[in-house]
C-alpha cells in the first residue's frame, strides 16, 4: 500500500458489514474494486436521465493513481471496460480521460469516501465513445444536485 494515503485498510474489521469487508478484501487482493451505482429517480426525480455509473476504489492506495469512473454501462461491461482502460494506461495508451472535480466525490462515490475516510481523493472520468456522460469537471451546483448531462 502507498504510504500517506489514508484508507480503511488498516482499521479494525470486527464490526464491519459483509459488503464493507468484501470491498477491503477485494482491494487487498486485486489492487482495487468496483462499485456500480444506479440512480433512483423515484427517490430523487431530478436524477432522471443520469445513466448508471461504475467506479473503482483503491487505485490511489495500491498504485498511486486516481480512481476511475465510467457512465452508461452495465456493471459487467463497465468492469471489463475499466480493467481494459487500466491495462491501456499501464502500456502507455491514452484513453480519453477528464478530471472529476472533488466536489462530486460525496455525491457520486459514497463508498470511495468511506474507503478513503473523506472526500479528498482523485477520480478520472473515462469517456466511453457514443455514450451519454455528465460533465464532472466543475463542482456541483448544490448539494444533492445531479451532474449536468450534455444537451
Model pLDDT for residues 92-107, shown as the tens digit of each residue: 999 999 999 999 999 9
Half-sphere exposure of 131 (CA within 13 A, CB side): 20
Distance CA 31, CA 59 (A): 6
pTM recorded for the entire structure = 0.93
Enclosing H/E stretch for 86: helix 75-90
Report whether pLDDT(145) > 90: no
Give how far the C-alpha of residue 119 lies from the chain's centroid of Cα atoms, to the nearest Å: 12
How many Å apart are CA 27 and CA 53, to the nearest integer? 19
pLDDT value of position 1: 64
Nearest-Å Rg of the Cα atoms of the chain is 15
Distance CA 62, CA 9 (A): 11
**Mean pLDDT for the chain overall:** 92
Amino acid at each position: 500500500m502507498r504510504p500517506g494515503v489514508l484508507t480503511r485498510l488498516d482499521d479494525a474489521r470486527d464490526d464491519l458489514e459483509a459488503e464493507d469487508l468484501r470491498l477491503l478484501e477485494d482491494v487487498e487482493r486485486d489492487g482495487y474494486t468496483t462499485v456500480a451505482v444506479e440512480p433512483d429517480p423515484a427517490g430523487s426525480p431530478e436524477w432522471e436521465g443520469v445513466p448508471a455509473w461504475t467506479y473503482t476504489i483503491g487505485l490511489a492506495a495500491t498504485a498511486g493513481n486516481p480512481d476511475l469512473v465510467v457512465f452508461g454501462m452495465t456493471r459487467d461491461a463497465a468492469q471489463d471496460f475499466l480493467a481494459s482502460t487500466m491495462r491501456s494506461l499501464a502500456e502507455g495508451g491514452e484513453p480519453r480521460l477528464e478530471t472529476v472535480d472533488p466536489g462530486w466525490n460525496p455525491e457520486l462515490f459514497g463508498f470511495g469516501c468511506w474507503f478513503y475516510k473523506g472526500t479528498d481523493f482523485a477520480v478520472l472520468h473515462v469517456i466511453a465513445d457514443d455514450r451519454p456522460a455528465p460533465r464532472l469537471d466543475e463542482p456541483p451546483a448544490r448539494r444533492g444536485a445531479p451532474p449536468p448531462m450534455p444537451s
